[in-house]
Amino acid sequence: MEVYRMVVIGLVMGVAFGFALEKGRVFEPGVIIGQMQFRTFTMLKMFLTALATGLVVLALLNGVWGVALHPKATQFVANLAGGALLGVGITLAGACPGTLLAQVGAGYKDAWFALAGAIAGAVAFGYAEPALRPLIGDGARKLTLDQLLGLPFWAVALTLAVALIAGLVLLERARPWREDLGPDADGLRN
């Protein structure tokens, strides 16, 4: 695939992701902080829906068209430490890397400070990474659920997607999105 096509596909996917974030109101700092405080579940529903969709697409690509998957090596210390640091940062800033540019585009002035912090953090990690490498490990082991179960990836992915969808239906019944975002969140008057 030539670079031009990859850039166009990436831009189209970015626009689609941004559109979904905006329509789902998931980019708003109050929604993000509400999720981190377990007061609202809109963000969780949105991202679990994206995960289920991604699993179905990958299952089709792998199972039907034979596209090879190349999972990254598991780095337990890096994943735990990085996930904890990211979670604290998301909670404090009311933004995550995926929503930050949507906040900038929507005119949230505080988002510029979070963006500057994200860039500074990425640069700092780039310089610190060689010194941190012995602490976080080399990630030599590729640990995947399909390998652990001894099943084809597509079967595990579709099973997980169905389980996620069932969980999402139950979560939506327990906490409808209109209760989380309010009755006028879609812009329609009742």
Q: What count of other Cβ atoms lies within 10 Å of the Cβ of residue 185?
A: 16
Mean pLDDT computed over 133-140: 73
- Give residue 21's pLDDT: 81
In angstroms, the CA 100 to CA 115 distance is: 7
- 59, with CB counted inside 10 A (0-12, 13-18, 19+), is buried
In angstroms, the CA 39 to CA 60 distance is: 35
CA angle 172, 167, 26 (to 5 degrees): 50
- Give residue 152's pLDDT: 94
pLDDT digits (tens, 9 = 90+) for 47-84: 899 999 999 999 999 999 888 988 888 788 888 888 99
Lowest mean pLDDT among 127-131, 155-159, 167-171: 127-131
**Helix residue ranges, H only, the chain:** 3-23, 29-36, 42-63, 76-93, 97-106, 110-136, 145-149, 153-174, 177-181
- Give residue 184's pLDDT: 62
Asked if pLDDT for residue 166 goes beyond 90, the answer is yes
Asked if pLDDT for residue 189 goes beyond 60, the answer is no
In angstroms, the CA 36 to CA 108 distance is: 20
Q: Which residue matches tokens 């909670």?
A: 91
pLDDT digits (tens, 9 = 90+) for 9-30: 889 988 888 888 888 888 999 8
Ranges of each domain in the chain: 1-40+74-143, 43-71+144-183
Cβ atoms 91, 84 nearer than 8 A: no
136 or 168, which is more confident? 168
